[in-house]
């Protein structure tokens, strides 16, 4: 897992320089790199396509942008960081005095050395983001301003990776691909999702897992619009974001609050004894709010470390590859793997010998516990599984009711099933 952490961090570093937005070649370049790790099916949706209550916007691409002083020195340069340009800036090539230019400049006075991340997706304008200390050092005078960009009809791009399961019912794992040079939001989520897909592909999972790499909001809405006829097949889901900072894990529950994915994450986080928080659903944040919207009402929660807008570096140049760590991403990945292992094994069983307690010793079940350090817990797990296997309660119900770890309960179910005492 330590090696996996380093590989995830290397992927973050590789993706970091690319200029991503809700559309454009930066998204395509990102998906092309991810495709080297897991094969992707890429979808292109034309500008003007109606997607639920939204319309796919024009495609934005940018080649260069800068502010140069009278000597031709670039004082703000897109080549140095994709954050320097207001996202979706329309093209401009002008010379203007600093007083006029200030109306198009964005800074963070409270963090004078940081560059903010700002966008203007649906209002045509142009602008630059820069450090406050850079702005303070600019003398009065004329400046050459250039944004070499295009905003024209094109496509919105998203991608999927599907791991076939034993059943067609699906678990979706979603991450957003629309942010430029921001390591925790969103590249750590992309990296964790990608290596989670690789881990799940090492076996045949029970559920079919569908990984969705899409621009935030309009991308998730586009995916939902194009999959309405099969949405009932989606049984569970998880949105990954802010997955690599040093904060404790945070799980935001689905709109339902009692969806199976909510119960699974609460159980895994609690029994693992990791420091964590579980929060209620709010209709603000990442794409869980799209998947959980009333018409779909999917059981989709969101896993992060420090949540949305909860750390000073959020949406600034300080959210760089040094801000995320291999260890934090590894821990996030481990929780995802543990949660999906529970989800895949969570079944309802029927006791085939329900009249009185069956004789476990005669079937060698007690003998099988000999030498186990958790023999007493394993024995109690067998009794709890037998007691609650009425065809209505799941193994997660048993674990929650008994206070035993899910793995212990699932192991007891395996042993009882092999002895012919219960059936799924």
Residue at which a domain ends, from 345, 364, 383: 345
Same domain as 180, residue 76: no
The pLDDT value given to residue 375: 76
Same domain as 353, residue 269: no
CA-CA-CA-CA dihedral for 75, 80, 84, 87, to nearest 10: 140
In angstroms, the CA 254 to CA 411 distance is 29
Q: Which of 131, 150, 15, 5 is nearest to 76 (CA)?
A: 131
Same domain as 297, residue 227: yes
Same domain as 390, residue 269: no
Strands (E), 233-275: 234-240, 249-252
Q: Which domain holds residue 90?
A: 59-152
Q: Which of 291, 41, 45 is nearest to 161 (CA)?
A: 41
Residue 27, domain CATH: 3.40.630.10
First to last CA, the chain: 33
Same domain as 273, residue 332: yes
What's the total number of domains in the chain? 3
CA-CA-CA-CA dihedral for 326, 327, 329, 331, to nearest 10: 160
Beta bridge partners of 147: 65, 92
The pLDDT value given to residue 54: 98
User: Is residue 185 marked as binding?
Assistant: yes
Same domain as 307, residue 259: yes
Same domain as 337, residue 234: yes
Helix-strand-coil split of the chain, %, nearest 5: 35, 25, 40
In angstroms, the CA 292 to CA 305 distance is 21
Residue at which a domain ends, from 284, 314, 345: 345
Same domain as 299, residue 259: yes
Q: Which of 100, 110, 108 is nearest to 130 (CA)?
A: 108
In angstroms, the CA 195 to CA 161 distance is 12
Strand 276-279's sheet: what is its strand order? 41-46, 155-163, 208-214, 170-176, 234-240, 300-304, 249-252, 276-279
**Parallel, antiparallel, or unpaired: how do β-strands 390-394 and 74-77 relate?**
unpaired
Q: Which of 60, 119, 124 is nearest to 87 (CA)?
A: 119
Entry pTM: 0.95
Burial 226-262 (b: 16+ CB within 10 A, else e): ebeeeeeebbbbbbbbbbbbebebbbbbbbbeebbbb
Task: Provide the residue-wise pLDDT of the chain in tens; the chain has 424 residues.
Answer: 779 999 999 999 999 999 999 999 999 999 999 999 999 999 999 999 999 999 999 999 999 999 999 999 999 999 999 999 999 999 999 999 999 999 999 999 999 999 999 999 999 999 999 999 999 999 999 999 999 999 999 999 999 999 999 999 999 999 999 999 999 999 999 999 999 999 999 999 999 999 999 999 999 999 999 999 999 999 999 999 999 999 999 999 999 999 999 999 999 999 999 999 999 999 999 999 999 999 999 999 999 999 989 999 999 999 999 999 999 999 999 999 999 999 999 999 999 999 999 998 888 887 665 555 677 888 899 999 999 999 999 999 999 999 999 999 999 999 999 999 999 9
Residue 395, domain CATH: 1.10.10.10
In angstroms, the CA 33 to CA 3 distance is 19
Residue at which a domain ends, from 152, 176, 198: 152
Same domain as 260, residue 171: yes
Residue 134, domain CATH: 3.50.30.90
The pLDDT value given to residue 1: 73
The pLDDT value given to residue 376: 84
CB 171 within 8 A of CB 11: no
Neighbours of 213 (CB within 10 A): 29
Same domain as 242, residue 379: no
DSSP-derived secondary structure letter, 4: H
Same domain as 320, residue 272: yes
The pLDDT value given to residue 370: 54
Same domain as 363, residue 324: no
In angstroms, the CA 11 to CA 8 distance is 5
């Amino acid at each position: 897992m330590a090696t996996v952490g380093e590989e995830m961090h290397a992927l973050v570093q590789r993706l970091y320089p690319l200029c991503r937005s809700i559309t454009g070649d930066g998204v395509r370049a990102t998906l092309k790199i991810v495709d080297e790790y897991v094969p992707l099916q890429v979808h292109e949706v034309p500008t003007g396509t109606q997607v639920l209550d939204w319309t796919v916007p024009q495609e934005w691409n940018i080649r260069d942008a800068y502010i140069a002083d009278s000597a031709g020195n670039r004082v703000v340069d897109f080549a140095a960081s994709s954050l320097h340009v207001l996202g979706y800036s329309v093209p401009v090539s002008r010379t203007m005095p600093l007083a006029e230019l200030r109306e198009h400049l964005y800074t963070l006075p409270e963090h004078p050395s940081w560059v903010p991340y700002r966008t203007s997706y649906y209002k045509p304008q142009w602008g630059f983001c820069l450090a406050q200390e850079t702005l303070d050092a600019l003398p009065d005078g004329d400046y050459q301003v250039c944004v070499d960009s295009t905003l024209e009809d094109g496509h919105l791009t998203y991608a999927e990776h599907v791991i076939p399961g034993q059943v067609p019912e699906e678990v979706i794992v979603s991450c957003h691909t629309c942010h430029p040079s921001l390591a925790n939001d969103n590249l750590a989520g992309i990296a964790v999702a990608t290596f989670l897909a690789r881990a799940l592909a090492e076996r045949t999972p029970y559920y079919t897992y569908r990984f969705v790499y899409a621009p935030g909001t309009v991308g998730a809405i586009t995916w939902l619009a194009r999959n309405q006829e099969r949405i009932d097949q989606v049984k569970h889901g998880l949105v990954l974001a802010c997955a690599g900072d040093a904060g404790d894990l945070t799980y935001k529950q689905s709109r339902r609050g009692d969806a199976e994915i909510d119960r699974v994450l609460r159980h895994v986080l609690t029994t693992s004894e990791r420091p964590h928080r579980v929060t209620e659903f709010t209709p603000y944040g990442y794409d869980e709010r799209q998947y959980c919207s009333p018409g779909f009402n999917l059981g989709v929660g969101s896993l992060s470390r420090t949540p949305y807008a909860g750390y000073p570096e959020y949406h600034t140049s300080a959210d760089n590859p040094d801000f995320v760590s291999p260890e934090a991403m590894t821990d996030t990945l481990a929780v995802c793997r543990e949660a999906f292992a529970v989800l895949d094994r969570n079944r309802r069983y029927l006791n085939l010998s329900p009249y009185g307690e069956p004789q476990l010793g005669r079937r060698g079940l007690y003998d099988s516990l000999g030498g186990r350090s958790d023999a007493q817990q394993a024995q109690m797990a067998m009794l709890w599984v037998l007691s609650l296997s009425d065809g209505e309660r799941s193994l997660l119900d048993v674990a929650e009711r008994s206070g035993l770890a899910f793995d212990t309960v699932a192991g007891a179910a395996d042993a009882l099933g092999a002895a012919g005492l219960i059936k799924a």
